[in-house]
Structure formats: C-alpha cells, structure tokens
Copies of this chain bind each other. A is one copy, B any other.
Amino acid sequence: MADSKFRRELGQQLRVDSVRAAATAGSGHPTSSMSAADLMAVLLDGHLRLDYEHPHDPHNDHLIFSKGHASPLYYSMLKAAGAIDEAEFATYRQFGSRLEGHPTPRIPPTDVATGSLGQGLPVGVGIAWAGRNLDRLPYRVWVLCGDSEMAEGSIWEAFEHAAHYRLDNLTVIVDVNRLGQTTETMLGWDVETYAERARAFGWHAVVVDGHDVDAIDAAYAAAESTADRPTVLFAKTKKGKGVKAVEDLPGKHGKPLDDPEAAIAELGGQRDLAVQVAKPDVADEAHVFAVDGGELPTWEVGENVATRLAYGQALAALGSIRGDVVALDGEVSNSTHSELFAQAHPERYVEMYIAEQQMIAAAVGMQARGWVAYASTFAAFFSRAYDFIRMAAISRADLRLSGSHAGVSIGPDGPSQMALEDLAAFRAVHGSTVLHPSDANQTAQLVAEMADRPGISYLRTLRGKTQVRTRPDEKVFVGGSRVLRSSEDDHVTLVACGVTVDEAYKAAELLAAVGIRARVIDCYSIKPVDAMTLLTAAAETHSVVTVEDHWPEGGLGDAVLEALAAFSPVTVRKLAVREMPGSGTPEELLEAAGIDAKAIAAEARELLAERHAPVG
C-alpha cells in the first residue's frame, strides 16, 4: 500500500507552494488550488505515468488542468516532480516566465492552454480518442475540472462524446469546492446529483471525499480498472482547505492570501518533498497508418465543380498520401464532402455530431499528439466554436478548418446558414491563415499546403459549382493570388475571392463591351494577402473595386485596403498586438506589444522622418 502519510504531506506541500506562488506574484488563485491539492498529490504519487524528463514521449499520460486558474497547484506539481526548480517556480506570472497565469504549452508537458473554462475536458476527449484509435497506446488522460465549469455546455458535449466512443482511458476529476467567483454554484456540494448526470450520460461516476487520500487512491484505481466507459470522480472539497482565514469562505476567489506567512505556518510550514512520478510503459510503438500513396486530384479548365467537393476529394487523396491526416466533421459530412475521406479512411475519421465546440477541441487534442487534423462544418457554424479557436491559437495548435456553404451564394436556406463574418473572425485569430479558393484546382493545392502550415488555417468553400479557371499545373500557394485577366493599360482592377471571382470575370466582360479594360485578381489567399500583386495593379490602374460575399468589415476589402494604404499621401501606421502575449504587469505587456507611449512616439518620429516632415 502506498504511503498515505507521504501523500498527505505532499498535499500540504502543494498547498503551501500554491500560497507562496500567489503571494510572490501578487495575484492568482491559491484557494482554487488548495481544494484540489490532495487529489493531485495522490495522482502524482501512484497513478500518473509521465516521464517529466521526456515530456514529449508518446507513451506519457496526459494531465490537463481544465480549471486553468489553479495554475499555482499545477506549477507546484511540476516542482514536486522535478520538472522545474525553485528559481523558476518563483517567476510565476512574471513577464517572460513560462509559468503564465494560466498554463500554456510554453511549459512542457502541458498539451494545451486552458483558462477559458470548459475547454480542457473536451480537449482531453480528443487526446483520449487519439490514444485509443490513432496512437493505440495505453496512455491515460487525466483532466482536473472545476465544479463551476460544469455549467458550460461544452462539458456536456464532452461527456456525451467520451461515453459514445467508450473512452475508458479518460478520467475526469471534478473538484467540487462549491464556491465560484462570486457565488455558490447551482449544485453546491450536491455531488450525488452530479454523479447522476454523469451516469445518465453513460459514465462510471464515483463520489469521493476530496481530502481523503486513501479514498482518492481507491477511486483512481477504480477508474483504471473500468473498461468500456470513462470515469469521473466528483470530489467534495473545501476551497482554501487548510487555512481557516479562507477555507470554504466566499469572497476569497482569485487573490493571494492576506497573510501568507501565517497560512504557511498553519499548513505546517514549507516542505521540500520530491515525487518519483511513475514512468510510462514504453514497450509498444505508437501506431502508424500504412498508406498507398497517390496524387492530389486535378480538374480540367472549364469543368464546373463545387470547391467543397474538391475539398473532400483532395482530403481523401491526402489521406492516401500521408498516414498522419485525420478528419472530423460536425454531422454535415455529405455537405462539406469530408465523407469522401471517411469512406476512404474510416479509421481516421471521427464523427463529432452537432457539437462544434467538441469538434474543435478534439482536433486540438489530436494535434497535440502530432496528428494532422482537418475539421469541417458549415462555415457559419465555426462561429459556435470561436472561443475554442481563439484558445487553440494560445495553445500554439496547428489546425486545418474547412467551412462550406459560405455567404449569400448558398441561396434558399437563409442567413442562419450563411457565413458572412467568417473571414473577419478568422483573420483576427493570432497567426492564422485565411484562404478562399475560387475553383477546384486551387482548393486541392491549398488543402495539401495546409497540412504543414503552422497555426490555425481556415479554408472557405462554396456550396455551388464554380468554373475551373486555374490550370492543373499552375502553382497555387498561401500568400499567392491569380491574375485572371490583365493588359498593360487596364483602367481598373477588380479584386475578388470565391464566388465573386466568376462575377468579377463577367463584370470585366461587361466593361470590355463599353471599352473599359478591367484587370481581375483572384485573391484566394486573404491572410496573408498578396500585397505585391495588389500594389502593382493599383499602381497601374489607380482604381480598385473589391467584391466579397461577406459583410464589409474585416474581410477581403479590409485586407486589400491595408495592403494599398502604402499609396496614400496620408501615411497610416497601425500599432497593435502582433505577438502572443504572456503574463506580466500591464506596463510590461503594453511595452512588449509595442503599444505604449514610447513605442507610439518612436513610430511617429520614424514616420515623420521618412516623410521628411519638419521634426525637432
């Protein structure tokens, strides 16, 4: 039998260290950490199998802090496991530190960023699905959830999918400390009702005293020996456990303790216990899918093909070329045509049903294990998962998303089915790529290029057929564009993407009939945009019309305006946040982003110097 006393001591150490971390930082969530300390002590000492010296070993278990604000606890565990030292531990929440206010993959072995509640569990479902069906390794996924986040619908999407796919390698630990940020949760300490809900969703549910290390140990063992269904522990705990000044009291959320020294004394003082975390079994190699090769599909110029169909055909072909490609769809695979991939590679396709948040989260989980995940649904319905996409960027995730049925060109279904904001929303995702091909040959090449593209890549496809104008051997690439029609003395440039390329081409013919020569640019890469081609066209024609099946804000037109701003006699410089921020003081972060007074003044001086304006 494991040493209960050691585990209790380790729990106290994790509490003390959580108190210390928040006190040093001057912010953070120590009380939300203290409630889960015993749960994590037992996990670390006896159940987790994770080689912290080799955090990327594919055999490792995964631990996700869905309640990311309990980062003091998470980093205290890393210290106890020897993954970070005391010096780094002391940098919590400081500028430049890997130990941000909420965990991110900057600090291994963290798989994903958390901090927007209700996301860690759905990501865990994705990793568990990969473990069972892709990697085919016996690693377990452990997810620590808060009870407040049980109110997020995404949690119940995860509950349903994990049971449906019988993910017995997934264990969820819910820290039921009863108290949210401002008030008691809807269920308080009613752990039995939580358990009933989980059972109704098909889970093995266990209720446990979250401060009884032996009971916790038994519950983890029960989870490990349960087959065919995931296990959830609803652990009754006290927020701020162990320190009377905060224990189980409202109004103590998200701030350091008033008297950390006294609290540490009450917890028995600082300790320096080291845990030998169990290493994983490395007997088996991760599964590799055999592929039979092949080539991307091409189409003849003049054919009429929907780009969504080209997406499906290209993805299916890519799956034959690469064994690491996986596809997910939100129960519209016959619309997005990811069904072609599903038919060709059924073992690498996951049906996510109508649960877009879970779909994105699962893709994030799979890519954390190195799989090249493509997820598709109607373009409009990615808006359902926008917070997950935002967080995926913070997770430094590589995702490939394909949204079909974009814009008014879908026709009779009406505006609920028409993505008209997707280009803007995806452009405003850090590090994203935004593509909107106009024909099948473009689509296939871009689908292939997305596979190795870092960050969030978004491909917008069309419901209706469009004419293939791009030759099969013509190079199409991220950041490129295609000039359909031009002459040396064009009067005007028409810039279009997707369905409006056809319209722009027809417009050029209408204009030609009245003696106006129009250049037509197919701007299939919207972020990054092909500024050089646009600038050349603008310099030669002085007149540009952009046309897009999208609201006026944030899409093609704005991308073109930005590229062409270089021409204006009014020089405009945009200062904004261009790199992913971390933690720090507001002043440090404004400075690092280059949007503080000094940066503004420097930019203004440089701009004026370049203009040769009178300067002091």
> What residues of chain B lie closer than 8 Å to A538, measured between beta carbons?
570, 572
Question: Given A160-B151, A510-B598, A567-B568, are A615 and B180 neighbors across the interface (CB < 8 Å)?
Answer: no
The CA of A176 and the CA of B193, in the complex, are separated in Å by: 25
Chain B nearest CB from A21 CB (Å) reads 12
Q: Which residues of B contact A516 (CB under 8 A)?
A: 604-605, 608, 615-616
User: How close is A3's CB to chain B, nearest CB, in angstroms?
Assistant: 36
Contact mask for chain A residues 376-411; partner B; CB cutoff 8 A; 1 contact, 0 none: 000011011011001100100000000000011111
Docked Cα-Cα span, A96 to B300, in Å, equals: 37
B409 adjacent to A589 (CB under 8 Å):
yes
- Given contacts A180-B331, A331-B180, A545-B600, are A148 and B511 in contact (CB under 8 A)? no
By the criterion CB–CB under 8 Å, are A574 and B601 in contact? no
> C-beta contact mask, A338-355 vs B, less than 8 Å → 1, else 0?
010000000000010111
Contact among B152, B504, B613 for A543, CB-based, below 8 A:
B613
* Residues of B close to A494: CB separation below 8 A: 600, 604
Stretch of A227-235, A365-373, A412-420 at the chain-chain interface: A412-420
Q: Is A547 an interface position by the 8 A CB rule?
A: yes
| Contact in complex: A115, B558 (CB < 8 Å) | no
Within A522-561, which residues are at the interface with B (CB < 8 Å)?
527, 538-539, 542-558, 560-561
A111 at the interface (CB under 8 A from B): no
11 A-B pairs with CB atoms under 8 Å apart are A100-B414, A116-B416, A153-B156, A156-B156, A499-B590, A502-B597, A538-B570, A543-B611, A554-B558, A558-B558, A564-B570
Residues of B near A603 (CB, < 8 A) are 545
CA of A582 to CA of B511, assembled, Å: 29
Stretch at the interface among A5-13, A195-203, A261-269: A195-203
For the complex of A and B, the 7 pairs showing the least CB-CB separation, nearest first, are A515-B616, A153-B153, A115-B416, A506-B597, A557-B574, A424-B428, A507-B600
Quick one: which of B339, B578, B597 contacts A504, CB cutoff 8 A?
A: B597
Q: Is the CB of B415 within 8 A of A151?
A: no
Question: What distance in Å separates the Cβ of A430 from its nearest Cβ neighbour in chain B?
Answer: 6
A607 interface residue, CB < 8 Å from B?
A: yes
Per-residue CB contact flags for chain A residues 132-170 toward chain B (1 = under 8 Å, else 0) read: 000000000000000011011111110010001000000
Bound together, the chains give a CA A496 to CA B595 distance in angstroms of 10
| Interface core residue of A357, A538, A561 (most chain B CB under 10 Å) | A561
Within 8 A of B (CB), among A253-286: none
Q: Smallest Cβ distance from A332 to chain B, in angstroms?
A: 6
Question: In whole angstroms, how far apart are the Cα atoms of A429 and B550 in the complex?
Answer: 11
A614 neighbours in B (Cβ, 8 Å)? 491
Is A126 close to B, CB under 8 A? Answer: no
In the complex, whether A467 has a CB less than 8 A from a CB of chain B is no
Indicate if A328 sits at the interface (CB-CB under 8 A). Answer: no
Given contacts A196-B200, A510-B597, contact A552 B574 (CB under 8 A): yes
The interface centre, meaning the residue of A357, A412, A515, A542 with most chain B CB atoms within 10 A of its CB, is: A412
Shortest Cβ distance from A319 into chain B, in angstroms?
A: 18
B504/A414 in contact, CB under 8 A? no
A601 to B514, CA, bound (A): 10
Give A556 to B515 CA distance when docked, in angstroms: 39
A384–B385 alpha-carbon span in the complex (Å):
7
A550 contacts B564, CB within 8 Å?
no
Q: How far is the CB of A298 from chain B (nearest CB, A)?
A: 26
| B-side contacts of A178, CB under 8 Å | none
Give the chain B neighbours of A550 by CB distance below 8 A. Answer: 576-577
Bound: A13/B550 CA distance, A? 39
Stretch from A38-46, A75-83, A181-189, A307-315 that touches the partner: A181-189
In the complex, which residues of chain B have a beta carbon less than 8 angstroms from the beta carbon of A601?
A: 507, 510-511
Expressed in whole angstroms, the Cα–Cα distance for A355 and B353 within the complex equals: 21
Determine whether the beta carbon of B553 is less than 8 Å from that of A553: no
Nearest residue in B to A253 (C-beta to C-beta)?
A: B334
- In the bound complex, residues from chain B placing their C-beta under 8 Å from that of A339 are 182
CB distance from A463 to the nearest CB of B (A): 8
- Does residue A575 face the partner (Cβ distance < 8 Å to B)? yes
Min CB–CB distance A180 → chain B (angstroms): 5
With beta carbons under 8 angstroms apart, the residue of B380, B503, B543, B580 that contacts A608 is B543
**A93 contacts partner chain B, Cβ-Cβ < 8 Å:** yes
Q: Are B200 and A414 in contact (CB under 8 A)?
A: no
Say whether B428 contacts A153, CB under 8 Å: no
Does A293 make an interface contact (CB < 8 A)? no
Interface string of A95-137 (1 = CB under 8 A from B): 0000011101000000001111110000000000000000000
Instruction: Tell me whether A331 and B181 are in contact in the complex, defined as CB-CB below 8 angstroms, given that A510-B598, A568-B568, A572-B561 are known contacts.
Output: yes
Question: Given the complex, which residues of B lie within 8 Å of A353, measured CB to CB?
Answer: 148, 151, 180, 185-186
Q: How far is the CA of A421 from the CA of B388 in the complex (A)?
A: 13
